[in-house]
Copies of this chain bind each other. A is one copy, B any other.
Amino acid sequence: MISTTELSEYFPIWKNLTSEQQNLLAESVMERSFVKGENIHGTGKSCLGLLIIKSGQLRTYMISDSGREVTLYHLYDREMCLFSASCIMQNVQFDVFIEAEKETVAFQIPALLYNKLMNESLPVAKYTNDLMATHFTDVMWLIEQILFKRIDQRLAWFLLEQTKNQDNDTLVMTHETIAQNLGSAREVVTRMLKYFQSEKWVSLGRGHIKIENKIHLQRLI
């Protein structure tokens, strides 16, 4: 059994639960470990429940019939993974895949228990709503980039172009300067660079960007 002290530290609305609800959670939550690369959730799989990440990193993505993947968002320490319990959300009618990007340890809340809490606790319902809205925002951002701005393509092209005539793959340039070159905003470039980094296409340092996967950047263009 997980200690209530530990749970209270990781479950963000713990103090808004009744003691009965807290006890139910403490009795039912389990600690789970996933190895790097492990498939946690996918089409047709059983309904795992909600995961709160103690340490590690998860990736949520879509996959096409031909095997092409698109990352929707990443989850880091202390974040909660909602869609591994999509079975209890009858209005969520789409499939996403979730995998452990790093060795990950997480608390697992059984789907049916979470469903019960969502149906009887206003704080849990509101928290779920906030999570949904956050992920909705992530996905809308992705659509916008892909459909309209193609800042991903333009950034990839810029990075490759700038390092073409160098004898190494490191570009010494601020995000601000890149943004100016692309006619975009610094925030947009920073966000996209972070996305590139999370996909391991680049690695970011102070004042420089190192290209780690040329082939993938070229594929974007």
Contact = CB atoms under 8 A, between A and B. Distances in A.
Nearest to A126: B125
Majority SS at the chain A contact face: helix
Contacts of A91: 129-131, 133-134, 137
Nearest to A147: B70
A1 interface: no
Interface residues of A, number: 40
Contacts of A141: 94
A137 B62 CA distance: 13
Contacts of A143: 62, 70, 139, 142-143
A121 interface: yes
A110 to B, nearest CB: 19
Contacts of A137: 91-94
Contacts of A118: 126, 129
A120 B137 CA distance: 24
Contacts of A140: 62, 94, 96, 139
Interface string A99-140: 000000000000000000011111001101111111111011
A134 B131 CA distance: 15
Contacts of A135: 136
A122 B16 CA distance: 14
A2 interface: no
B62 A144 contact: yes
Interface of A: 62, 64-66, 68, 70, 89-94, 96, 118-122, 125-126, 128-137, 139-144, 146-149
Q: What 3 A-B pairs have minimum CB-CB distances, sorted nearest first?
A: A64-B148, A91-B133, A125-B125
